[in-house]
Amino acid sequence: MRTTIKDVAKRAGVSPSTVTRVIQNSSSISQQTKETVRQAMQELNYHPNLNARSLVSSYTQVIGLVLPEDSDFFYQNPFFPQALRGISQVAADNGYAIQISTGKNEKQRMEAISQMVYGRRVDGLIFLYSMPEDPLVQLAIQHNFPFLILGKASSPFVSLVDNDNIQACFEATSYFINKGYKNIGFVAGNKELVVSQDRYEGYKNALKAHHMELDEAKVKFSSGFLLEDNSYKVMKKLTKQPLDAIITTDTIVAEGVLSYLKETGLDLPIISFDSVMPKIDITAYVDINATKLGRVSFNTLLQIINDTKEGKQVCYRRVIPHTIIEL
């Protein structure tokens, strides 16, 4: 049999409730008792059964990470491991564990998140993606379950941690403008994604700020899952325009663009957005600092969990700085 709190209590000559209080380092316990109990715990190599604890105290010290549907794009994008890294760094420091949940379709993902929320397996959720009217987010909202969205905005009333994508792309575009480029193309991923829209906004703002005309023929959105092939095709169309530089919203897009350019012998400066240094031969990239996004997300979620406990309803919006890095 595994050692329980009763074994420790017996050995230390106290009651189980006293052992609990020692574990909680309650100030109402004498130093003397604390020491005796701690020694007994050590001697017996006692570790509490966390299921029992969670059952009665209804907190788990676990947070849930909600991933999007199983897709190549998600798992090949360095954003995910980097964000996870940031989250787990802070989680470990705070004694929290991380449970991840995904699935091959919405039904399976709904099942998984239900287990976490209804099953009381986690204290809060971080969504690592964002879709309009996401039923999983709806579930969290309905049950007033603590959560936040990392990376992209969706509804205006949820807490989130994100970059200022408008500003970031403003700066990326200005970077080219300041170098004297006049015909700057813009190739984005899926137009539905808030992130593409925001970066497009920044692109337009930069042109305006520098009194340059927006030429929509120089702007392309690649549909589908931001995949490389699409960007390649899109680029093909774009080169009918005079171009001297290109902004892309993702390294995967940049890859497609680059492979078309190489094939046709063209050489244009390219900027992309990424969370690690791109391995392809481009001019610069905007580091969105995914690890920091992760770290701040965890800390913010902790606040939301506490707010919820106290019945408060605060909506957090945290902005993580980006950096343009020349290659």
Partner DNA sequence: CTGAAAGCGCTTACAG
* Closer of 35 and 111 to a copy of itself (Cβ): 111
Q: What is the DSSP string of 96-150?
A: -EEEEE--SSHHHHHHHHHHHHHTT--SEEEESS--TT-HHHHHHHHTT--EEEE
- Residues found in the chain: 327
Residue 4 binds a copy of itself (CB under 8 A): no
- Binding segment for a copy of itself (CB under 8 A), chosen from 14-22, 50-58, 150-158, 304-312, is 50-58
d(CA 181, CA 295): 37
Name the phi and psi angles at 28, rounded to 5.
-85, 5
32 binds, among DNA, a copy of itself, none (CB under 5 to 8 A by kind): DNA
Binding-site partner at residue 15 among DNA, a copy of itself, none, CB < 5 to 8 Å by type: DNA
Does 117 contact DNA by CB under 7 A?
no
112 versus 184: smaller Cβ distance to a copy of itself: 112
Other CB atoms closer than 10 Å to residue 240's CB: what's the count? 8
Q: Among residues 9, 40, 116, 293, which is the contact residue for a copy of itself, using CB under 8 A?
A: 116
| Cα distance between residue 43 and residue 39, in whole Å | 6
According to the binding rule CB under 8 A, does residue 103 interact with a copy of itself? yes
Q: Considering CB under 8 A, how many residues would be counted as binding a copy of itself?
A: 48
Task: Name residue, tokens 């497009």.
Answer: 200
Q: Is the dihedral of CA 240, 285, 282, 224 positive or negative?
A: negative
* β-strand pairing of 323-326 with 284-287: antiparallel
Question: In degrees to the nearest 10, what's the CA dihedral of 209, 210, 216, 217?
Answer: -160
279 binds, among a copy of itself, DNA, none (CB under 5 to 8 A by kind): a copy of itself
Q: How many CA atoms does the CB half-sphere of 172 hold within 13 Å? A: 38
| CB 60 to DNA: min, Å | 12
Does 4 engage in binding with DNA (CB under 7 A)? Answer: yes
81 binds, among DNA, a copy of itself, none (CB under 5 to 8 A by kind): a copy of itself
Give me the helices (H) in the chain, please. 5-12, 16-23, 31-44, 50-57, 72-76, 79-93, 106-118, 135-142, 165-178, 194-209, 228-238, 251-263, 290-309
Q: Which stretch binds a copy of itself (CB under 8 A): 5-13, 20-28, 71-79, 159-167?
A: 71-79
Residues between 28 and 87 that touch DNA (CB under 7 A): 28-30, 32-33, 46, 48-49, 52-53, 55-57
Residues that bind DNA (CB under 7 A): 1-2, 4-6, 13-21, 23-24, 26-30, 32-33, 46, 48-49, 52-53, 55-57
Q: Which residues bind a copy of itself (CB under 8 A)?
A: 2, 47-52, 54-55, 60, 62, 67, 70, 75-76, 78, 80-82, 84-85, 88-89, 92-93, 95, 97-104, 108, 111-112, 114-116, 118-121, 255, 276, 279-280
